[in-house]
A and B are shown apart, each in its own frame.
Chain A
Amino acid sequence: MASPRKPSVTTLKRVAILLALFALGGWLGRLSTFHSGSIAVWPASGIALAVILMFGWRYWPGIVVGALLFSTIDRVPLGLFALANAIGNVLGALACAFVLKKFADFKNELGHPRAAALYVLVTAALGATVNAACLVGGLVGAKLAASEQILPLVGAWWIPNALSFLLVTPAIIIWPKPTRSRRWVSLAAEGLLAAAALVASALLAFDLWRIPGWQDYPLALLPYPALLWLALRSGVRGAVTGNVLLAMLAILALTCERGPFAVGDAADSLQWIEMYLGILATANLLFAVAMTERRRVMADIVENEKRLRMVITDQTDLLCRFEPEGTLTFVNPAFGRFYGKEPQALLGENFFQVVEATDATRLRASLEALPEENPVLNIDRYAAGANGRNEWHQCSIRRLVREDGQTEYQAVMQNITPRKRAELAAQDAKHALEQMNFQLQAAATESRDAAAQANRANQSKSEFLANMSHEIRTPLSGILGMVELLAQSRLDKRQREFADAAVESANALLRVINDVLDFSKIEAGKMTVSSEDFSVRSVVDSVLENVAARSTGKKVALTAIVRRDIPHRLTGDPIRLRQVLLNLVGNGIKFTERGEVVVRVQSQFQSPGKNTLRFEVIDTGIGLTADEISKLFQPFMQADTSSSRKFGGTGLGLAISRKIIGLLNGKIGVNSVPGQGSTFWFEVPFEVPPQPVTERSYPGLVFLQATVAAPDASLRESLVEQLQGWGVDCRAVATAGELSRLLRNNLGAAVIPLVICDDEMLTAGGEELSRLLVEKKDIVSSILLANPAGSLGMDAAGPAGFVNVLLKPVRQQPLFDALLAVVDGAKPDLKPAVEPADGTEFITRAAATPKRTAISDLRILAAEDHPFNRKLCQLILDNFGARAEWAFNGQEAVDKFQPGKFDAILMDCNMPELDGLEATGVIRKIEKENKVTQRVRIIAITANALVGERERCLAAGVDDYISKPYTAQQLYQSLLAAVPPAADNGEAFDPAKLDQLCNELNREGVVEMADDFIKELPMRLAEVQRYTNEQQWTELERATHSLKGLCALFGLRSLAEAFLAIEDAADGADAQKINLLLANLPALAESGGSRIRRWLDSQNPPPVV
């Protein structure tokens, strides 16, 4: 990349070499020029070609300069001749180089015969001719030569140029090439020796070294052997060197006019020697090239052979060759190794025997049957080698024809054991899979058949169930009727209880059967819908009455609000409507622990002759999640499978309801918020028949001015809706204070004032309200709405001056009758509507035959200042067969209290002198002073279940609390916990469990385990307490579940029960209940623990000394 302005070092170096070569050539030329100015070799042209070939065509100016330099040194006068000569040199060299490079891809090497031959031809035919032509052209142009001399001159100049290309150029281009041989030192030494021999023989041949008499012999070819030697051993380099040496000596001899070519005439001598040199040099050069080529081919063959041998030797595949009858002619080491013999020892043995082909005949046959084209046999075979080495081989056997015409087989055996194993395993797996697939298909077919069969079976099952339920119901009705008759007959108390239980059970059974029957009927398509006139209000009332009768003891208000714009009479199927309502309301009550269940009926769409009613059953129960809702209307499903255990039921109710509503062309659904309650609703279209003349209306009612006093909004709304429907002037109050104020003001200027007072209002209003009602009873008539759960109404109605008592839920008819009675001034009989026996009978009966219950023997102190509440409490306790000593205020309670005298104290919180909680504190203090172990159970009775009230009670040392109004059941439950441990001594710990374990397992192990457990128990209790405090209900449930199991295992019954109760409460996340239950735990654990310890002591009697 040398730019012309800044010739690089390389370029400079090259130019120097170039000039040196020309100078040397010139000098040699001068030496070799003899008398006539003739010259045998014209070195300048050879140098020029060498320079162009080696350095490239850009060096032509250097060549021109060099050629001129050459001419100068050679004493050729500078002038046209020298210039033409220089141009000829350049053009000849460029032409040769162009042709060689362009067409022969000449790489300045003469190693290949083709390249060498081409070089000789091109330089002789083209280079020398161009050179000579240019020179002669120059001579003729300069008129130094006549035109007829052209051809002889060209011929004369052609030869020195051709010789120059033949001798000088190769020497220059070959010598700089690096020598690659590793033995170059010995080769060089031999080369020198051969060169010396050449020089010596040439000196002799050309008579330069005079041995007398020798010059008469024709010795011209004497140097030839030495020349061949040099070429043979030193290759092309040796050949060109030899050529140059020979030429130099020959020309030297010529200049000295000696030797065989000095024939007298200079021109003849020149031609002789030129011929001699030309032929010898060409032959020698081509010989050297051929030898070099041959040597290279040989080396390649040796190298290939070595390579192949190593491949075969290192091959892990087994290789062998054998003749058609089996004789092994070649085996590789791997083959020998596998068969446990030296490869050499195996040669000559029979292939078929060595590889132990059991089917040798067949193998041989299939080898012989191989086709001519691609005669290769590929087989996998399990080969048994030496030393028990067994492998899977993939054999590939090819038939070959040897160079000598003999047929041979070549076998390549590759170890494919791992692959084969995998293949076999895969095959097995595939087989197994196919098997499985087949089975699956069979199973699928089977299950399809089974499904079809099941459908048919389901159909017939439904029909069967329908028939069967019907068949069962008929005799059951008989039983029920008979038992009811029996219950009404004269029976003693025990018999009555039995009969009542039988009626209840039979009714329950009947309900279940009816459900199943209905469902089956619907499934079997046998349910029909009737169409008759009915009153929606009566249907709703009967449903409420029915449900209320079944759900006594539950603190859930049940109210119906039927909009008064609904037609009195509608046409539809009241039986089905009732069934659906009953189911929904029943569910509402079932899943509601506290709060209310409200039935709301309103008109959704109205058109002449038609009315679509929307029924809503709203509860404040546990509510439903979206997931539960989705399953809700499916048969046999309850929202939570665990709830079937908790709440019972067939799980068919909602499914039946949905089907019925479907039959009635309606729709049904539910909206719910978990934990807050649910609203089940349905909409059903009814026909509206011509309405009868106002059914429930009485002109006198308009004179009434009613005040509805109830804390519960639904109840107020329900009553106001009904009263206003009858034309009664109506208002509602929600608090006792408001009612008292109204009463004091004589209820304004009403014609007939009336108070309809809820019993809860009365409880809240306390004595003052009761007193007011009594005071005003001559002016204001009042009706009490009583909860059948409490017995309040029966006793309180009289003293409080009520003219009537209606049981909740309030039905239309009794309310209407009561209103009429008020208007008519007739004093209705003071009897609860459903209880035929009067209140006194209830009391006397309880007194005459005291019940024996678990709490009958409890010694109870009851502190209550309010006479009304005292009475109520007394009634309930009597009913339990329990008796109480009474205190009329807190101080009295403290005075009457003595440690150990009572099992339980019922403590009203609001009392004069000393209130309930203060009294509790004093009692606890007394107990502490007396170091009482079994403290008395104090049950607080509070008026309000305010948030914080509970904490206040518990802080004061109360064991449990119930809020007013309480049910008999609540009181009973709370008192039950007071039954002293003495009574359940037998139950707290049952050693039989541990004894049994000891008998079945090794005693020491069981004893140790029980011992560990008792030691660990306080820690476990602390854990339970912690879970409770942190409200980790799931953890708590799990821990108590576990503890329950363990306590049961060790026979700690009471503890197990307590843990079970906590587990259940944790399930409902009922923190209040859990805390109450937790309060009992330490005592239970203490007593259980001491009993186990005593048992343990009995197991390990102290060692006898």
Chain B
Amino acid sequence: MNEPAAPKVLIADDEVYMVRLLEMTFKKGGFAVVACRDGHEALATAYTAQPQLIVLDVIMPGLDGLEALRQLKENPLSKHIPVVVLSAKGHALTKVEAELAGAALFMTKPFSPNQLLVEVKKILEPKSS
């Protein structure tokens, strides 16, 4: 069996620098990165590109991260994809909301890239084994 192509991660964040940071982080982790700027775009991309992982920022113009997460989890096209929610507000309520909506991981910004990769690996590993 050939090793499949690099796993794909979809990043949705309206802040370009955050996208750059996440991009560097995931590229280091061996991911192929697809980035988009808001929730609506993220939904459309998730349905079509079928990434192995989705990273959502909570606060985005248009469709915010939590709402996007809910819609991703409702759609049979995307409900199997694990979602990481990033929030600058480390508010407990946001975390609870994200977890209730089905987030696989909730992280507050600023985060350590290495730690993010470790956590992400934990999410993705049980599937491959």
Q: Is B45 an interface residue (CB 8 A)?
A: no
Which residues does chain A contribute within 8 Å of B28, judged by CB atoms? 1000-1002
Residues of chain B within 8 A of A1001, CB atoms compared: 21, 24-25, 28, 113
Point out the residues of chain B lying under 8 angstroms from A1042, CB to CB.
Answer: 14-15, 18, 59, 88
Instruction: Give the CA-CA distance A375 to B54 in the complex, in Å.
Output: 63
Q: Could you tell me if A1038 and B109 are in contact, using CB atoms closer than 8 angstroms? A: no
Residues A1048 and B24 in contact, CB atoms below 8 Å apart: no
Q: Which of B21, B24, B61, B89 contacts A1049 (CB 8 A)?
A: B21
Given contact pairs A641-B93, A1045-B88, A1038 touches B61 in the complex (Cβ within 8 A)? yes
B15:A997 contact, CB within 8 angstroms: no
**Bound complex: CA of A1005 vs CA of B113, how far in Å?**
13
Interface presence of A237 (CB below 8 A): no
* A1049 lies within 8 A of B93 (CB): no
Interface centre among A641, A1002, A1012, A1049 (most CB of B within 10 A): A1049
**B110 CB-CB contact with A under 8 Å:** yes
CB-CB under 8 A from B88, the residues of chain A are: 1041-1042, 1044-1045, 1048
Contact of A1005 with B110 in the complex, beta carbons under 8 Å? no
Judged by a CB distance under 8 angstroms, whether B75 is at the interface is: no
- Chain A count of residues within 8 A CB distance of the other chain: 21
Establish whether residues A996 and B112, one from each chain, have CB atoms under 8 Å apart when the complex forms.
Answer: yes
With A and B bound together, what is the CA distance between A137 and B112 in angstroms?
134
Task: For B14, list chain A residues within 8 Å (CB).
Answer: 1038, 1042
Q: Is B127 an interface residue (CB 8 A)?
A: no
In the complex, what residues of B have CB within 8 A of residue A1041's CB? 59, 88-89
| Interchain CB contact under 8 A, A1046 and B15 | yes
A1013-1050 near B? 1/0 per residue, CB < 8 Å? 10000000000000000000000001001101110110
A993 at the interface (CB under 8 A from B): yes
Q: A1001-B25, A1001-B28, A1045-B110 are in contact. Are A645 and B18 (CB under 8 A)?
A: no
Q: Once bound together, how far apart are the Cα atoms of A1002 and B89, in whole Å?
A: 27
Report chain B residues within 8 Å CB of A360: none
In the complex, chain B residues whose CB is within 8 Å of the CB of A1009: 17, 20-21, 24
Q: Does A1006 contact B (CB under 8 A)?
A: yes
Nearest to A1012 among chain B residues (CB) is B17
Question: Interface majority SS on A: helix, strand, loop or mixed?
Answer: helix
Give the residues in chain B near A1000, CB-CB below 8 Å: 25, 28, 112-114
In residues 75-122 of chain B, which contact A (Cβ within 8 Å)? 88-89, 91, 93, 109-110, 112-114
Residues 951-1006 of A at the B interface (beta carbon under 8 Å): 993, 996-997, 1000-1002, 1005-1006
Is the beta-carbon distance between B15 and A1006 smaller than 8 angstroms?
Answer: no
- On whether the beta carbons of B24 and A1006 are closer than 8 Å, the reply is yes
Cβ-closest chain A residue relative to B110: A1049
Residues A1046 and B17 in contact in the complex (CB < 8 Å), given A996-B112, A1000-B113: yes
How distant is the Cα of A452 from the Cα of B119 in the complex, in angstroms?
38
Quote the shortest CB–CB distance from A647 to chain B (angstroms). 14
Whether B15 and A1048, one on each chain, are in contact in the complex, defined by CB atoms closer than 8 angstroms, is no
Q: Give the distance to chain B from A827, nearest Cβ to Cβ, in Å.
A: 57
Which residues from B are CB-within-8-Å of A645? 91
Contact with A along B50-90 (1 / 0, CB 8 A): 00000000010100000000000000000000000000110
Q: Which of chain B's residues has its CB closest to A1043's CB? A: B15
Among B17, B61, B109, point to the contact of A1013 (Cβ < 8 A).
B17
C-alpha gap A1049/B20 in the complex (Å): 12
Across the interface, which residues of B come within 8 angstroms of A1048, CB to CB? 88, 109-110
- Chain B residue numbers with a CB within 8 Å of A641 are 93
- Cα(A996)–Cα(B114), bound, Å: 10
Of A1002, A1006, A1038, which one neighbours B59 at CB under 8 angstroms? A1038
Closest residue of chain A to B20, judged by CB? A1009
Which residues of chain B in 1-51 are interfacial with respect to chain A, using CB atoms and an 8 Å cutoff?
14-15, 17-18, 20-21, 24-25, 28
Q: With the chains together, A306 CA to B24 CA distance in Å? A: 77
Contact, CB under 8 Å: A1045 / B20 = no
Considering the chains assembled together, what is the distance between the CA atoms of A1005 and B18 in angstroms? 13
Contacts of B93 in A (CB 8 A): 641
When chains A and B are docked, how far (Å) is the Cα of A1049 from the Cα of B110?
5
- Tell me the complex Cα distance, A1049–B24, Å: 14
Give chain B residues whose Cβ lies under 8 Å from the Cβ of A1049: 17-18, 21, 109-110
- In this complex, the member of A997, A1002, A1013 whose beta carbon has the largest number of chain B beta carbons within 10 angstroms is A997
The answer to whether B24 and A1002 have CB atoms under 8 Å apart is yes
In the complex, chain A residues whose CB is within 8 Å of the CB of B89: 1041
Could you say which residues of chain A place their CB within 8 Å of the CB of B21?
997, 1001, 1009, 1049
Tell me the residues in window 622-654 of chain A with beta carbons closer than 8 Å to chain B beta carbons. 641, 645
Contact of A1005 among B24, B61, B109 (CB under 8 A): B24
Quick one: CB contact mask for A917-952 with B, threshold 8 Å, 1 for yes? 000000000000000000000000000000000000
Interface centre among A997, A1038, A1042 (most CB of B within 10 A): A1042
* Of B17, B25, B93, B114, most A-chain CB atoms within 10 Å: B17
* A645, B88: Cα distance in complex, Å: 16
CB distance from B110 to the nearest CB of A (A): 4
In the assembled complex, the Cα of A1013 lies from the Cα of B15 at a distance in Å of 11
Shortest Cβ distance from residue B27 to the other chain A in the assembled complex, whole angstroms: 9
**B61 proximity list for chain A (CB < 8 A):** 1038
Q: Which of A996, A1038, A1046 contacts B18 (CB 8 A)?
A: A1046
Which residues of B line the A interface, CB within 8 A? 14-15, 17-18, 20-21, 24-25, 28, 59, 61, 88-89, 91, 93, 109-110, 112-114
**Contacts A/B (CB < 8 Å), 5 sampled:** A997-B21, A1000-B28, A1001-B24, A1005-B24, A1049-B109
- Given A1038-B59, A1042-B18, A1045-B88: 4 more A-B contacts, CB < 8 Å: A1000-B112, A1005-B24, A1048-B88, A1048-B109
> Lowest 7 A-B CB distances belong to which pairs?
A1045-B88, A1000-B113, A1049-B110, A1042-B15, A1000-B114, A1001-B24, A1005-B24
